[in-house]
Amino acid sequence: MKKQNTPLITNIFTADPSAHVFNDRIYIYPSHDIPHNGEDNDNGDEYQMRDYHILSMDDTSDEVIDHGEALHQDQVPWVSEQLWAPDVVYKNNTYYLVFPARDKEGNFRIGIAESDKPEGPFNPRADYIKGSFSIDPCSFIDDDEQVYIYFGGLWGGQLEKYRNGVFDIKNKEPKGDETAVFPKVAPMLDDMSEFKSAPQDLVILDESGKPLTGGDEDRRYFEDPWMHKYNGKYYFSYSTGTTHKIVYAVGDNPMGPFTYQGVVLEPVIGWTTHHSIVEYHGKWYLFYHDSEYSGGINHRRCVKYCELNYNEDGSIQSITPEYK
């Protein structure tokens, strides 16, 4: 496999990697940063992604394959702009690309595109998932074949605008001792056509069993949900956003609640941090991105990976990014 902690590819800028093992290869589903000279802002206007490129790799060589454009925003009838962080799940002999984008009114929704190959190309459905909103969908398939979609991102991702269940531009992120905004989770119907039930909060608790607060920026959820199982436990990991960490919580049910445990990845170069965790040939790996290759430009990122290790008690060993 390619050397750890180095960009997987540099012919394009990639970010937000969702890694899965299909057909004995690791497939990475990233977003595609488009270089430009615009300014950064809290609304995320600098992240001008328009298409998806699928990457793959294995442990027989250092080659990472860019399979080319798998989906472009112009192919999706309901999309206006910004194809942000995607994910893929395999079910019903189909690869389902689950992705966020702004609809014609400027609100983020979550759509699905389908393929019979993990690298695509993907054919989008005509409309987004009914009842979906915000960004960063993670599609987790449990041992019983039930698929869950986890999603949500603050600020540009609009999650805090839905605090009452309906988009309201006046809603703001909670502060201080107010209960934090939580990510959303919903099970999917078996045919992946829509949510089986309405999205609900995925509650994250502190060590005393109390919900995390909005002022607890070292632990509260910001964006980038990821779910994996290890030794029968569910591990929910995510970005804290303003404090630039990847952290995790553990639970006994995929719908929660989850109890905060610690840090997976310390801050990287660049404002955003986004990740996925995957097992391959008996080892666990963390895929992430940073802005080292571009000299710290936030919207010119590259995907990297490194090995991830657990302690005997099931806790994750925290990783500090390696730079020259």
Catalytic residues: 16, 223
Q: Which of 161, 160, 156 is nearest to 40 (CA)?
A: 156
Amino acid at 23: N
Amino acid at 53: H
Contact call for residues 261 and 250 (beta carbons, < 8 A): yes
Identify the three-state secondary structure at position 149.
strand
How many C-beta atoms surround the C-beta of residue 282 within 10 A? 5
Q: Which of 148, 156, 253, 153 is nearest to 190 (CA)?
A: 148
- Distances, alpha carbon 265 to alpha carbons 204, 205, 239, 268, 276, in Å: 18, 20, 9, 8, 11
Q: Which of 258, 271, 319, 324 is nearest to 299 (CA)?
A: 271
- Within 8 A by CB and 6+ apart from 45, the residues are 38, 156
Amino acid at 94: T
Contact call for residues 14 and 33 (beta carbons, < 8 A): yes
- For 205, the token pair is 């608790």
CA atoms lying within 13 Å on the CB side of residue 317 = 10
Q: Residue-wise over 85-104: b if at least 16 C-beta within 10 A, else e? A: bbbbbbbeeebbbbbbbbbe
